[in-house]
Chains A and B, each alone.
Chain A
Amino acid sequence: AQSVTQLDSHVSVSEGTPVLLRCNYSSSYSPSLFWYVQHPNKGLQLLLKYTSAATLVKGINGFEAEFKKSETSFHLTKPSAHMSDAAEYFCVVTQNTGGFKTIFGAGTRLFVKA
């Protein structure tokens, strides 16, 4: 069965310091993995996606994530946080096999301190 675990419900960083948001997944099949961000009163916006090509994926706004099959992880990173990065982030797994399924992580709220 599929599952997605975001290991931190809240992460707080200072502006200019690195960001690490952790995601572990479980899937019986080869999944596609996504990170979405939601700013207040906005829809979820795609940051980046992994679909079995390069394991290091670069996304928008300086974010990137590395797919590590051996660790079943897809952690999201950014070298230097900006105040505008404060939002809620969702790790999402989809798979085609056995029917099209989409599973969300519980979300990680990122706080950025000046």
Chain B
Amino acid sequence: EAGVTQFPSHSVIEKGQTVTLRCDPISGHDNLYWYRRVMGKEIKFLLHFVKESKQDESGMPNNRFLAERTGGTYSTLKVQPAELEDSGVYFCASSRLTSAYYEQYFGPGTRLTVT
């Protein structure tokens, strides 16, 4: 089965610009998660979708970040306008069920650099 894919793999943008990251989860996985790792820090939770609904968005840093999952398939994470501190690696993960017993399957990440 195909894994979680993310696009683009790298993005370099200037402060103030807009960037949209995309995540395609494993087919059939209702749960989709976004995480971020800022350089030198831990991977931090951003939000969790169950199908097209936001189950938990408590980790979203501020209202410059907008995540969508229309139709319950792929998801996008838009940053508008981007700031320097948004630089980092953005990971997407998916899982079949919402349960602590089930592992999440991760994509390779999108490395975002804001200059």
- Interface residue ranges, A against B (CB under 8 Å): 31-32, 34, 36, 41-46, 49, 51, 90, 94-96, 99-107
A100 with B101: CB separation less than 8 A: no
Residue B104 interfacial (CB < 8 Å)? yes
Given contacts A51-B100, A94-B100, A107-B42, contact A100 B48 (CB under 8 A): yes
Select B99's contact among A31, A90, A96, beta carbons within 8 Å.
A96
How many interface residues does B have (CB within 8 Å)?
Answer: 26
A104 with B43: CB separation less than 8 A: yes
A51 and B100 alpha carbons, distance in the complex (Å): 8
Pick 19 A–B contacts, CB within 8 A, sort by A: A31-B100, A32-B101, A34-B103, A41-B9, A43-B3, A43-B105, A43-B109, A44-B93, A46-B105, A51-B101, A94-B100, A96-B100, A100-B100, A101-B45, A102-B45, A102-B104, A104-B42, A106-B41, A107-B42
Residue B76 interfacial (CB < 8 Å)? no
